[in-house]
Amino acid sequence: MGTGHTGGRRPGRAGRSWSGDVVRELKDWSWGRWHALPVLTQDAALAALLAALTFVPALAGSGTGLVRLPAEPVDLTVVVLALGQCLPLVARRRAPALCLALVGVSFALFQLRGSGAVYSGMGLIVALYSAGAYQQRARALLAGAASAGFVVMVVAVHTTGSVESVADDVTFYLASVACWVVGRWVQARRAQEAAHRDAERAAAAADERARIARELHDVVTHHVTAMVVQADAAAYLTDRPERVTAVLGDIAGTGRQALVELRHQLGVLRVPADGSAGRMPALEPLADVVERVRASGQPVHLVQRAELVDLPGPTALAVHRVVQESLTNALKHAPARCTTVTVVRTGTGAGAVVDVEVTTAGSPAGRPAAPSALVDAGSGRGLAGLAERVGVLGGRLEAGPRPGGGFGVRARIPVGAP
């Protein structure tokens, strides 16, 4: 029996869970449909609802009112004044000051008629809140005018013999002020949220500009440095035409590769409407990067145990840029020095990392460093940009002189999810 009882309870719980999900889905759907409607339609629906409730006999005497006078018979004037307290709510967000003025005047005249409280009187509460929430200019003037109008209404009502006390008048006024204050608070919250969104958009734009600047820096400095070094070398080969032809071919190839990468970077700035443009450039193999630097006269040895095509896009780009920028620095600051590039992947799964090390030998003892026309051309942004790029991926980069002479760049970059 125990088993049967337990089995009988499960469908009940499942049924309650299913019905709760249906109710939540319907609520989300209806709320979403309501907010999808134009603002004018929403406000018109609210005005129509208050107008309809005003003429429901069972709700007579309910709503918002101030005076207690003998009720006047219902006539066309009473109907017009009742509608005047709710129909102007159609403009409560587009023209909140005008809406409050029309509703306030209708409410005051309705009270002077002594027609009793009706649901259309709720329009005054909505109009006060809307004025606080949506009025952008002359808010103090509007608040002063509304307060003065209230005083005039109270004085006029007391001259007609109303029996409400001063405490009733003060309570009604404070309640009206509370409606205004709530609206002002909502407006301030919206302004704060809008400022926060603007700040987030500005930060995102700044990050994107910094990213593009890093990419352009890496592309331009690497390729242009190689081209300048190759062109300088060609000036000393005038007696060997075949070597000049080879160097000019290397310069042309380097220029074409630079154009390919620059076109990609410019293409990122022109994303089509369907958002299909990719942000990852087509990366040339590291062996080609090394070979191009060798053609510039820099002896480079490559030890590679991690292929870029096997790495996630951001990781592969970071590895490529570290090697590219380090070789560019070697060309600029240590021309003709032996440089070693090591790229090794270690670990598996979530703990996999790629270690990149680029070391350049120091000058032999007693021999001064070879001069380079590009030493003073650097902006100082290359290594800082690399450290930032690697840091974004959760890695770290170290660069500095080696104990035995020369210079080294070491980076450890998490592989991440493919």
**Judgement on whether residues 160 and 215 belong to the same structural domain of the protein:** no
- Is 300 among the domain residues? yes
**Judgement on whether residues 30 and 41 belong to the same structural domain of the protein:** no
**Judgement on whether residues 264 and 343 belong to the same structural domain of the protein:** yes
**Judgement on whether residues 73 and 126 belong to the same structural domain of the protein:** yes
Q: Which residue has the tokens 């999808």?
A: 36
- Residues 6 or more apart whose CB falls under 8 angstroms from that of 340 comprise 300, 301, 303, 357, 358, 359
Instruction: Find the CATH number of the domain harbouring 246.
Output: 3.30.565.10
End residue of a domain, out of 144, 164, 184: 164
- Is 180 among the domain residues? no
Q: Model pTM greater than 0.95?
A: no
**Judgement on whether residues 56 and 160 belong to the same structural domain of the protein:** yes
408/356 Cα distance (integer angstroms) = 10
- Is 346 among the domain residues? yes
pLDDT at site 350: 78
End residue of a domain, out of 145, 164, 183: 164
Confidence check: pLDDT of 190 > 60: yes
**Judgement on whether residues 135 and 242 belong to the same structural domain of the protein:** no
**Judgement on whether residues 41 and 30 belong to the same structural domain of the protein:** no
- HEC-encoded secondary structure of the chain: CHHHHHHHHHHHHHHHHHHHHHHHHHHHHHHHHHHHCCHHHHHHHHHHHHHHHHCCHHHCCCCECCCCCCCCCCCHHHHHHHHHCCHHHHHCCCCHHHHHHHHHHHHHHHHHHCCCCEHHHHHHHHHHHHHHHHCCCCHHHHHHHHHHHHHHHHHHHHHCCCCCCHHHHHHHHHHHHHHHHHHHHHHHHHHHHHHHHHHHHHHHHHHHHHHHHHHHHHHHHHHHHHHHHHHHHHCCCCCCHHHHHHHHHHHHHHHHHHHHHHHHHHHHCCCCCCCCCCCCCCCCCHHHHHHHHHHCCCCEEEEEECCHHHCCHHHHHHHHHHHHHHHHHHHHHCCCCCEEEEEEEECCHHHCEEEEEEEECCCCCCCCCCCCCCHHHCCCCHHHHHHHHHHHCCCEEEEEECCCCCEEEEEEEECCCC
- Is 179 among the domain residues? no
Q: Which one has a higher pLDDT value, 372 or 175? A: 175
**Judgement on whether residues 258 and 407 belong to the same structural domain of the protein:** yes
Backbone phi, psi, residue 283, to 5°: -90, 130
**Judgement on whether residues 237 and 146 belong to the same structural domain of the protein:** no
- Is 187 among the domain residues? no
User: How many other C-beta atoms can be found within 10 angstroms of the C-beta atom of residue 410?
Assistant: 17
Residue 384 structural domain: 199-363+371-414
349/66 Cα distance (integer angstroms) = 73
- Is 181 among the domain residues? no
pLDDT digits (tens, 9 = 90+) for 207-231: 777 777 777 776 677 667 777 766 7
**Judgement on whether residues 72 and 150 belong to the same structural domain of the protein:** yes
pLDDT at site 238: 63
pLDDT digits (tens, 9 = 90+) for 308-319: 888 888 899 889
354/310 Cα distance (integer angstroms) = 11
- Is 203 among the domain residues? yes
- Is 160 among the domain residues? yes
pLDDT at site 60: 64
- Residues 6 or more apart whose CB falls under 8 angstroms from that of 215 comprise 265, 281
171/174 Cα distance (integer angstroms) = 5
378 to 22, 102, 157, 291, 361: CA distances (angstroms): 64, 69, 83, 23, 20
**Judgement on whether residues 212 and 290 belong to the same structural domain of the protein:** yes
Structural domains of the chain, count: 3
pLDDT digits (tens, 9 = 90+) for 227-279: 776 676 666 666 667 666 766 776 777 777 666 666 666 665 555 444 444 45
**Judgement on whether residues 293 and 403 belong to the same structural domain of the protein:** yes
